[in-house]
Amino acid sequence: SFTQLNDLSGAGGRQGPGSTEKDPGSADSEAEGLPYPALAPVVFFYLSQDSRPRSWCLRTVCNPWFERVSMLVILLNCVTLGMFRPCEDIACDSQRCRILQAFDDFIFAFFAVEMVVKMVALGIFGKKCYLGDTWNRLDFFIVIAGMLEYSLDLQNVSFSAVRTVRVLRPLRAINRVPSMRILVTLLLDTLPMLGNVLLLCFFVFFIFGIVGVQLWAGLLRNRCFLPENFSLPLSVDLEPYYQTENEDESPFICSQPRENGMRSCRSVPTLRGEGGGGPPCSLDYETYNSSSNTTCVNWNQYYTNCSAGEHNPFKGAINFDNIGYAWIAIFQVITLEGWVDIMYFVMDAHSFYNFIYFILLIIVGSFFMINLCLVVIATQFSETKQRESQLMREQRVRFLSNAST
């Protein structure tokens, strides 16, 4: 299959201004007699295609089994990376860790040898050479990072940032699987068009964010507090404001007198005896008797002062106090995850008709904007697939031409 020559054909057919090869435009007759006319005649200033080292490297790179073995090593690397336990294998004293380390050393050595073979076969710099292909540059970066990691290990220097580069090794499989390469190319091709869509999303976020801040800044802090001059018996310890059993995620947000919200402090539920599982308490604090276990006072009836507190819902993450927090709330609404709770909080604190804001936000954000992104990706997919299919056909013709010579 011609797909085994992705690295080779990606570098072929064009002469880079900074390469060390001869200009094929001035030696067309000479190029026609070469074993691989699509590649540079000379690399490293003296290695021609007929020289023994480069000829062997070219035959190795063009061999279908070379890419198959490389793909197998990449899959093996995925397995070893998944089996690594960083918390348990710090000193690498166990037999399991030593075996995995041996495999990792072998994999790195294979990648390094593969890079050297391709450099000898294709050259290094220039459009026709090894570093002229984007995927080869990724392979080069991974190998260099691995060399740096091994050199730091020999000097007993801890450099964890370099170790994280090894997770990029499975990305080498992308260029070896045509369907994966098409998808990655698609994502890269859609970035300019998606940039315009994201700019439109920014304006939508900004407009809805400004409206939310102007209407509801500070309102989600509203709680039902005790009156300022309210005195309690010494044996009674109450919270400064009414708190539900799940205060962090489902607080009791009230509406101040100047607002027209759906919940006021008069809606605070009656306190129940026996730890909340008994009958409702109906007495007031004047009948409270600390020496009697049967006294059941409804202390919740004294949380009558609705004013702004210090805490917002979901441990302060959801509010409209500024444009930044408003964007966080808007993003959660667009994802359709827990948006109903946010809408109820706002309706309780401000007005019943605030549901219009959230319905419009879902229509514009969740339905229109997301589908617009899908349309952009679908449109670009057909163009990318057609271009990649044409490139594969050209690669196959080049491969058959090289094989016939």
pLDDT digits (tens, 9 = 90+) for 18-51: 344 444 444 444 555 666 666 777 777 777 777 7
Indicate the pLDDT class of residue 210, thresholds 50, 70 and 90.
very high
Residue 337 lies in a domain: no
Residue 50 lies in a domain: yes
Residue 75 lies in a domain: yes
What pLDDT does 370 receive? 85
CA 154 to CA 150: how far, in whole Å? 6
Domain that holds residue 39: 2-176
Counting residues of the chain whose pLDDT is more than 70, the rounded percentage is: 79
CATH number for the domain including 51?
1.20.120.350
Residue 83 lies in a domain: yes
Indicate the pLDDT class of residue 275, thresholds 50, 70 and 90.
low
- pLDDT 10s digits, 318-339: 999 999 999 999 999 999 999 9
Least confident of 215-224, 324-333, 396-405: 396-405
Q: How many structural domains compose the chain?
A: 1
pTM of the model: 0.65
CA 95 to CA 92: how far, in whole Å? 8
Residue 88 lies in a domain: yes
Phi/psi at 304 (5° precision): -115, -5
Q: Which 8-state DSSP code applies to residue 173?
A: G
Least confident of 6-10, 248-252, 263-267, 327-331: 6-10
State the amino acid at position 136 in one-letter form.
Answer: N
Residue 159 lies in a domain: yes
Residue 259 lies in a domain: no
- Read off the tokens for 19: 């390469």
CA 402 to CA 398: how far, in whole Å? 6
Residue 100 lies in a domain: yes
